Amino acid sequence: MGLVFGTPGTKEGFKMMLLGSGELGREIAIEAIRLGAEVIAVDRYDGAPAMAVAHRKYVGNMKDPYFLERVVRLEDPDAIVPEIEAINLDKLFDFEKEGYFVVPNAKATWIAMHRERIRETLVREAKVPTSRYTYATTLEELKEACEKIGYPCHTKAIMSSSGKGSYFVKGPEDVEKAWHEAKTKARGSSDKIIVEEHIDFDVEITVLTVRYKDGGRTETAFIEPVGHYQIHGDYHSSWIPSGISDKARRRAFEYAKRVAEVLGGLGIFGIEMFVKGDQVWVNEVSPRPHDTGLVTVISNPQGFSEFALHAKAIMGLPIYTEEEDGFKVIRPLTPAASHVIKGYVKGVLPRYRNIELALLEGRVSVHIFGKPDVYEGRRLGVVLAAADDVERARIIAERAAHRIEVMIGERWHNQEYELEKHILR
């Protein structure tokens, strides 16, 4: 007998609760609703992007176990989907013990939201190559750790995301700055700092890896690797295909499979890697859709974006793939690229202009996230572009994104209208 999904709002409906309702949560909500699910959006502030499309919303502190307890008991969801780091992880284990489905599972979420846990899992259990690393808990230990790893190196708060709490340490004179950055800007614990070797890579990629049910089996499949670059540790542009060698691509799939199977559960994992020639190092893991994967909305449309795959996996639905050298692969329908639209100063209720000019650049889609508050560097939207080749798509996406201006307060802001020095690395 096949799966049965009732009408949203009824006892037989499939109810999905998002813990964190940003721009990635919004895309998950849209895809889940398309499949007939009922979506509940939860976040720390009202007006979070997914709240605009969800059936219901709740606002509160997700680190507060009592708040989580109230909303989960009230809604009794079929799936609890963590989308951010700032969640009481102990409660996720409690919910799972009671029979709730935590995506991908409570243990994977607990591991992947903490840099020491994920690094040790990568090295000791998944047995994949990573950069050299060590840890520090005091300023003196940090100085010694940086000397041990060698300059330049990277320091990161043990719990953070989107570059918060991270620093590129060029020499001994930067160590105190790195200490301050980790201590003041961590998202979660800042008790320990990880120091990582700097790898002079050709490109950074994300292997979007989905675990899903196909009959009685759990399968693992991969979207074509996504290339991307960051500014100040935060995603700025991504593109697909990534342009890496066939050998590196096979290694990336193999390492991603090992990581995903160690973590287990169902849904999308965003597995970040460095690539230099045919060499591949695993860097970080996100137990949910990845911001660089926004490009898949235009490259893998019609139910095959990372968000659609995540929703299908959560709901127990099969996924169409193609076999290649023993791997299940989901290919893009077109070369494509993304480029972010950023906020530049602190403020509220931003306004946007020149979207029409951006849309004239080519096969372009503009996504404004609708966030009510702005701080410097906050991602407010993204431009997606498709083209006949990936380099053309990257240029179009950047040019279109730079057309769009954001008013914060009484002043219009826009990104410099030129190819950034990173674009042709």
Is the pLDDT assigned to residue 420 strictly greater than 60? Answer: no
Burial of 53 per CB tally in 10 Å (0-12, 13-18, 19+): middle
CB 344 within 8 A of CB 413: yes
The whole-number average pLDDT for the span 372-396 is 95
Q: Which two tokens stand for residue 325?
A: 């050298």
Output phi, psi for 30, to 5 deg. -60, -45
Q: Which residues pair with 80 in a beta bridge?
A: 17, 102
Q: 161 an active-site residue?
A: yes
Can 292 be counted among the known catalytic residues?
yes
Q: Is 12 a catalytic residue?
A: no
| Catalytic pick among 26, 211, 258, 379 | 379
How large is the average pLDDT for residues 142-160? Answer: 93
d(C-alpha 82, C-alpha 146), whole Å = 33
pLDDT digits (tens, 9 = 90+) for 159-214: 776 667 889 999 999 999 999 999 887 665 568 999 999 999 999 999 999 999 99
- Helix (H) or strand (E) holding 213, with range, is strand 203-214
Pairing of strands 217-223, 327-330: parallel
From the list 181, 272, 306, 361, the catalytic residue is 272
pLDDT of residue 410: 80
Q: Is the pLDDT of residue 424 over 80?
A: no
Tell me what pLDDT residue 252 has. Answer: 98
Whether residue 32 contacts residue 310, with contact meaning beta carbons closer than 8 Å, is answered with no
Options 220, 292, 299, 305, the catalytic residue: 292
3 state SS of 387? coil
Catalytic residue at 284?
A: yes
- Catalytically annotated residue among 27, 181, 291, 361: 291
Residue among 284, 306, 361, 398 flagged as catalytic = 284
Q: Please check the confidence at residue 158 and state whether its pLDDT lies above 50.
A: yes
The residue annotated as part of the active site, out of 155, 160, 161, 220, is: 161
Instruction: Note the pLDDT of residue 189.
Output: 57
Active site residue 163: yes
Give 242-274 pLDDT, tens digit per residue: 999 999 999 999 999 999 999 999 999 999 999
